[in-house]
Amino acid sequence: MASRRPSALIIERFAPSPTGLLHLGHGFSALTAFEAAHKAGGRFLLRIEDIDQPRCRPEFEQAIYDDLRWLGISWDGLVMRQSERMPAYRNALAKLVSLGLCYPCGCTRRDIASALSAPQEDVDPVMGPDGTIYPGTCRGRKMTARTGNDAVRLNIAMAVAYLGGVNKLNYLDIGTGKITLDKDMLIEGCGDIVLARKDIGTSYHLAVVVDDAEQKITHVTRGIDMASATPIHRLLQALLDLPTPIYRHHRLIRDANGKRLAKRFDAMALQAYQRAGKSVQDIRELLGFPAIPG
Q: Is 255 exposed, middle or buried (0-12, 13-18, 19+ CB in 10 A)?
A: middle
Residues 127 and 210 in one domain: yes
Residues 200 and 91 in one domain: yes
| Model pLDDT for residues 223-252, shown as the tens digit of each residue | 999 999 999 999 999 999 999 999 999 999
Residue 256 pLDDT > 80: no
Is the Cβ–Cβ distance between 49 and 292 less than 8 Å? no
Give the mean pLDDT of the chain. 91
**% of the chain at pLDDT higher than 70:** 90
**Is residue 250, in this structure, part of any structural domain at all?**
no
pLDDT of residue 119: 55
Residues 107 and 231 in one domain: yes
Q: Which of 5-14, 59-68, 192-201, 270-279 has the lowest mean pLDDT?
A: 5-14
Cross-strand partners of 254:
260
Residues 92 and 211 in one domain: yes
Domain CATH code at residue 34: 3.40.50.620
| Backbone φ/ψ region at 41: left (φ over 0), alpha (ψ -120 to 50), beta | left
C-alpha angle with apex 210: 247 to 36, nearest 5 degrees? 30
Residues 93 and 182 in one domain: yes
Range of the domain at 294: 8-84+264-294
Question: 23: which DSSP letter?
Answer: B
Rounded CA-CA distance 10/2 in Å is 24
| Model pLDDT for residues 131-180, shown as the tens digit of each residue | 889 999 999 999 999 999 999 999 999 999 999 999 889 999 998 889 99
Residues 147 and 208 in one domain: yes
pLDDT of residue 1: 34
User: Considering only CA atoms, which of 129, 240, 146 is closest in space to residue 192?
Assistant: 129
Residues 114 and 28 in one domain: no
Amino acid (one-letter) located at 232: I
Is the Cβ–Cβ distance between 14 and 47 less than 8 Å? yes
Rounded CA-CA distance 202/186 in Å is 20
Q: How many CB atoms lie within 10 A of CB 141?
A: 15
Residues 233 and 103 in one domain: yes
**Is residue 2, in this structure, part of any structural domain at all?**
no
Instruction: Give the chain's domain count.
Output: 2
**Is residue 253, in this structure, part of any structural domain at all?**
no
Phi, psi of 128 (to 5 degrees): -120, -165
Residues 44 and 180 in one domain: no
Residues 137 and 230 in one domain: yes
**Is residue 254, in this structure, part of any structural domain at all?**
no
Residues 180 and 149 in one domain: yes
pLDDT band at 2 (very low <50, low <70, confident <90, very high): very low
**Is residue 259, in this structure, part of any structural domain at all?**
no
Model confidence, pTM: 0.92
**Is residue 280, in this structure, part of any structural domain at all?**
yes
| Model pLDDT for residues 75-128, shown as the tens digit of each residue | 999 999 999 999 999 999 999 999 999 999 999 888 888 887 765 555 677 888
**Is residue 251, in this structure, part of any structural domain at all?**
no
Residues 68 and 110 in one domain: no
Sheet holding 219-223, edge to edge: 177-179, 171-173, 246-250, 219-223
pLDDT of residue 264: 55
User: Considering only CA atoms, which of 26, 28, 22, 29 is closest in space to residue 63?
Assistant: 22
**Is residue 252, in this structure, part of any structural domain at all?**
no
